[in-house]
Structure 1
Amino acid sequence: MDKDNRIQATWRWPALLGLHLLAAAVLASWLLPASRALWDGAGLWLFQCLNGSLGQVPLWDGFWAVTSTRLSDALVGALMLGLMLNSRWVFRVGELRPALFTFLGLLLVLLVVRVLFNKLVGLLDWQHASPSTLVPGTYHLSAAFPELERLFELKDRSSRSFPGDHASVLLLWALFMGLFSRGWKRAVNFGLALLFVLPRLVAGAHWLADVAVGGVFIALTSFAWGYCTPLAGHIGNGLARFSQLLWGLLQRLPLLKRLRVISPL
């Protein structure tokens, strides 16, 4: 990669070790009986506060119902991608393609980490159902908005809610973007990730620990193995080489060729 490009495929030993220690500490805080009680109490309290706000104002309920759909997930993904490929936000023009391909590499690493961690969760019987299926008096958005449920599938329940897969992707994006941003832009990146996690918590698809323990553990471990080693960078370089023909084709399209990621010069 270009020396002026901040996204380099290299070993970052202190960060690699530190992220693993942090991920292990987060997971241990949930497994130890004393602190597990704190997680469970905080999770129940937060769910009752968030879900308890539903069922009173139709507009409020509708907002959380819409943001809990698969369609909303796709729009959030488009926004995340748009910010990543906006040369005025975090990455410079020459970094847009390396950023895109490196993040795709990180997502592949996350997929592997998630599969392995899910197997461990099943093996050690850490799995549990979501609060909406366990807590009496839950306001079910899927029942209140049957048409949205039928068309787009509302994510307000699960028999296997740990870990929070959706949260892990959002947190991985925030870690990657936050590494290269400063000040208020870094705060916005992390703030957006937390904001987009909220619908699952409000609807009751996940407990707090599913996000703050499971999602954080997967994101930290994936970022450690992906970015603090050359792995994601090498994957990104491979994707970049295979996509050369695609960029040439996209540069011929009148609207798309105006995008800096497609025509950087």
Structure 2
Amino acid sequence: MKLTSNAEHWQLDRLIMCHAIAAIIGASMIWPVTAELWLNISSAVFFLLNGSLLWNESWAVLWAALNTKTYDVLGAVLMFLPTIWYIFAGSDHDLKERIARTSVTWGTVIIVVFMSKILLPSIDFHSPTLVLKPVVYLNELVPWIDAKWESKNSFPGDHAVAAFSFVGMVFLLLNKKTGILTLIFGILYSVPRLFSGAHWLSDELVGGGMALFIALGWMSNLPTLVWSRYIWSWIFSRLPKRG
């Protein structure tokens, strides 16, 4: 199934296929065989990353700072910056086309994150800090920083939902250079919760993977970009003409 950013019409069969893949990824959290595999892998990753907080004080302070609400905002801004750069410095399309593509990228990610907040907040899935032992508690190790270290509804990882869908859309709609920069910032945005133990690795990979296929499904199989072009053409046509 080839994904393209130039869908001119609704392609419901391919759209359903993307949602089916997302559903299969999500089902891996509840099918006993894969659920046990995810638990083992995620537990091993948690003990490795969370245990590293005892290496030294500077290392612990770093990850405490990266698990604050302040960094949540900063990390999101950094992840969006490459797309701002693309609008004003990109050369693969004209300005109107770059704005149309970027606005679809932003809009799709906002919708996906909003849907995850509305549809999935009732899932009772505790973070590893509330389930596993031994645990290094960031709030005790670095008490002067208000770091997020636990969650009673850890699935899906909200940072991963935003990062996976955003990076996927950037690679599909913008260009490789912008995609690589966004990928780097997306990783920096998602990883901190694994060190603090507020999320399992499966929260990030499964939740993010579902968001990725849903976002790409909509963009690749609906004429979303066509609609965006019409809207921005209408806006540009009403701007004052120069000289």
TM norm structure 1: 0.73
Q: Which of 130, 134, 155 is the matching residue for 2:131? A: 134
Task: Give the partner amino acid of 2:72.
Answer: D
Identity %: 24
Deviation at 1:202, TM superposition (A): 0.8
Aligned equivalents of 2:91, 2:148: Cα separation in 1: 31
Which residue pairs with 1:57 in the alignment? 56
Structure 1 residues 220-262: Cα deviation after superposition (integer angstroms, max 9, x where no partner): 22332355323576478658868999x98xxxxxxxxxxxxxx
SS of structure 2 residue aligned to 1:54:
helix
Pick aligned residue for 1:98 from 89, 97, 100: 100
The Cα of 1:142 is off from its aligned counterpart by 2.2
**Partners of 2:138 and 2:63 in 1: CA distance:** 8
Q: Indicate the SS of the match to 2:140.
A: helix
Partner of 1:172: 165
Matching residue's letter, 2:101: A
Which residue number corresponds to residue 253 of structure 1?
none
Extract unaligned runs of 5+ from structure 2. none
1:81 equivalent in alignment to 2:80: yes
Structure 1 unmatched ranges of 5 or more: 1-5, 249-265
The offset of 1:45, in angstroms, is 0.5
* 1:56–1:220 Cα change, 3 Å: same
**Further displaced range: 24-33 or 104-113:** 104-113
Rounded to whole Å, the distance in 1 between the matches of 2:138 and 2:229 is 40
Residue 117 (structure 1) shift: 3.3
CA contact (8 A) 1:164 1:206 kept: yes
Q: CA deviation at 1:192?
A: 3.4
Contact 1:76 1:196 in 2 (8 A): yes
Q: Is 1:45 matched up with 2:38?
A: no
When residues 13 and 98 of structure 1 are mapped into structure 2, their CA distance, relative to the original with a 3 A threshold, is same
Pick closer, same or farther for the CA change 1:110–1:185 going to 2, 3 Å. Answer: closer
CA 1:102–1:29 in structure 2 vs 1: closer, same or farther (change >3 Å)?
Answer: same
Q: 1:185 to 1:78 in 2, by over 3 A?
A: closer
Deviation per CA, 1:114-169: give whole Å up to 9, x if none: 145316xx3xxx521111122222112222223321xxxx2221111111112101
Counterparts of 1:144 and 1:91, CA distance in 2: 49
The answer as to 2:208 corresponding to 1:206 is no
Alignment of 1:109-124 (within 5 A): 109-115=111-117, 117-118=119-120, 122=122
State the partner residue of 1:255.
Answer: none
Between the aligned partners of 1:164 and 1:181, the Cα distance in structure 2 is 25
The corresponding residue for 1:157 is 150
Q: More displaced, 185-194 or 128-137?
A: 185-194
CA RMSD of superposed structures (Å) = 3.2
Aligned equivalents of 2:120, 2:152: Cα separation in 1: 14
The 1:45/1:233 distance shift into structure 2, 3 A limit, reads farther
Cα 1:59/1:34, change in 2 over 3 Å: same
Give 1:251's aligned residue: none
Q: Cα distance 1:78–1:226, how it changes in 2: closer, same or farther (>3 A)?
A: same
Q: Is the alpha carbon distance of 1:89 and 1:157 closer, same or farther for their aligned partners in structure 2, counting shifts above 3 Å? A: farther
Residues 239 and 37 of structure 1: is their aligned pair in 2 closer, same or farther, counting only changes over 3 Å? farther
